[in-house]
């Protein structure tokens, strides 16, 4: 049990590529922190730096009280679950789980007790004598989890652990990982590019882009108040609609004088929009006339793709299956309270 603290952490590869550009955050003890971002944003590199399998170019990483910059991964007392599971292919499941304990010269009886406990929790007891190649993807994932929990480490690190599983298994493992983490109360750092996984697992969400942190916060807080247009489009599916407006247009639309004259970007989530018949009044909110281009009906909801008269494309999310047909005219309406306003470069929330 420990908190994980990062202070201005950087990773500069030989050749000058800066993969991680000064990251500072603090995962409180027992919290589940999810690093989310598109591929290549530096999230995996950052995780590997915490694990110690990647060197730290500058800055400081602490696990508990200890600065671990120059400490070998074997001495950091953390456990990691890899995307490809990284099980030891020549060892039985039992030995895979016991390996870390044997390295610590733990008593044989204690090792046995811990491995069997973990196997019971993860429901892999019948698999203990098998080799990894005789297991399915989901079973391998459980063994990898087992290998992490038997050691009762200070922190769990997860590197996209679910991305090799099929969709159904991914959902059930997601729930299970969350449950296990709550049971053990171990500080965790979890890397994913899947915003749904990030939203459902995290106590604390760190959204990364191009080696930098875009926003840190509770998942719902990030969803409700995205700090930048990047976060706004990355969190939430389908992505938030962004309308670039110049001059006095945003101020007029919002009835608000504090919009800078160089313009702004207005964001509206598809779920905050509704459709009204053509010519419907704004009614204290905003009204955007559009032509429907396409409709996707997925059962509980429908997505309407349209082109606004001002030129932008827009997505509206409607409950149920009732939606206008392509080619029809409509007006997208939203209340002003649901609008997100960003600076013209998208880097700041106004």
Which residues contribute to the site for another protein (CB under 8 A)? 51-53, 72-76, 78-80, 82-84, 86-90, 99-100, 103-104, 131, 147, 151
d(CA 267, CA 229) in angstroms, rounded, equals 8
Q: How far is the CB of 140 from another protein (least distance, A)?
A: 12
Nearer CB in complex with another protein: 131/212: 131
Q: How far is the CB of 99 from another protein (least distance, A)?
A: 5
Nearer CB in complex with another protein: 86/287: 86
299 SS3 class: coil
Instruction: Name residue 244's beta-bridge partners.
Output: 265
Closest CA to 19 of 52, 47, 38, 41: 41
Residues 235-247 as b or e (16 or more Cβ within 10 Å = b): bbeeebbbbbbee
Q: How far is the CB of 72 from another protein (least distance, A)?
A: 7
Write the DSSP assignment of 198-226 as a string of letters.
HHHH-SEEEEEETTEEEEEE-HHHHHHS-
Nearer CB in complex with another protein: 177/199: 177
Nearer CB in complex with another protein: 10/92: 92
Q: How far is the CB of 54 from another protein (least distance, A)?
A: 9
Q: How far is the CB of 291 from another protein (least distance, A)?
A: 51
Angle value at C-alpha 76, between 130 and 114, nearest 5 degrees: 35
Q: How far is the CB of 32 from another protein (least distance, A)?
A: 19
Tell me if 1 sits within 8 A of 154, measured CB to CB.
Answer: yes
Nearer CB in complex with another protein: 100/238: 100
d(CA 232, CA 212) in angstroms, rounded, equals 16
Q: How far is the CB of 102 from another protein (least distance, A)?
A: 9
Distances in Å between the Cα of 190 and the Cα atoms of 245, 287, 323 are 37, 41, 39
77 SS3 class: coil
Within 10 A of 156 (CB to CB), how many other CB atoms are there?
24
Q: What is the DSSP letter of 99?
A: H
Nearer CB in complex with another protein: 97/253: 97
Phi, psi dihedral angles at 256 (to 5 degrees): -140, 125
Q: How far is the CB of 52 from another protein (least distance, A)?
A: 7
Nearer CB in complex with another protein: 86/171: 86
Alpha helices in 68-166 (DSSP H): 93-103, 108-122, 137-149
Nearer CB in complex with another protein: 52/324: 52
């Amino acid at each position: 049990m420990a908190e994980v603290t990062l202070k201005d952490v950087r990773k500069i590869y030989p050749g000058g590529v800066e993969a991680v550009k000064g990251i500072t955050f603090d995962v409180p003890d027992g919290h589940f922190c999810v690093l989310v971002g598109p591929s290549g944003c530096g999230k995996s590199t950052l995780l590997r730096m915490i694990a110690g399998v990647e060197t730290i170019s500058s800055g400081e990483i602490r696990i508990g009280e200890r600065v671990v910059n120059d400490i070998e991964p074997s001495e950091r007392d953390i456990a990691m679950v890899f995307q490809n599971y990284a099980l030891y292919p020549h060892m039985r499941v039992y030995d895979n789980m016991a390996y870390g304990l044997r390295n610590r010269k733990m008593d044989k009886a204690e090792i046995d007790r811990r491995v069997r406990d973990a196997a019971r929790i993860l429901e892999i007891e019948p698999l203990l004598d098998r080799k990894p190649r005789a297991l399915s993807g989901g079973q391998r994932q459980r063994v990898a989890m087992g290998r992490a929990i038997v050691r009762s480490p200070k922190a769990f690190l997860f590197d996209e652990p679910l991305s090799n599983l099929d969709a159904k298994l991914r959902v059930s493992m997601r729930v299970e990982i969350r449950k296990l983490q709550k049971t053990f109360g171990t500080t965790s750092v979890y890397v994913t590019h899947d915003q749904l996984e990030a939203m459902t697992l995290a106590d604390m969400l760190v959204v990364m882009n191009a080696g930098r942190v875009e926003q840190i916060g509770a998942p719902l807080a990030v969803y409700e108040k995205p700090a930048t247009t990047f976060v706004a489009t990355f969190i939430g599916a389908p992505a938030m609609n962004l309308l670039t407006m110049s001059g006095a247009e945003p101020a007029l639309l919002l009835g608000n004088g504090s919009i800078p004259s160089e313009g702004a970007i207005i964001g509206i989530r598809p779920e905050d929009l509704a459709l009204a018949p053509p010519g419907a009044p704004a009614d204290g909110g905003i009204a955007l006339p559009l032509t429907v281009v396409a409709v996707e009906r997925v059962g509980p909801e429908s997505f309407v793709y349209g082109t606004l008269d001002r030129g932008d494309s827009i997505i509206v999310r409607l409950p149920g299956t009732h939606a206008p047909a392509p080619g029809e005219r409509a007006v997208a309406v939203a209340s002003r309270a649901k609008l997100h306003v960003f600076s013209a470069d998208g880097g700041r929330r106004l």
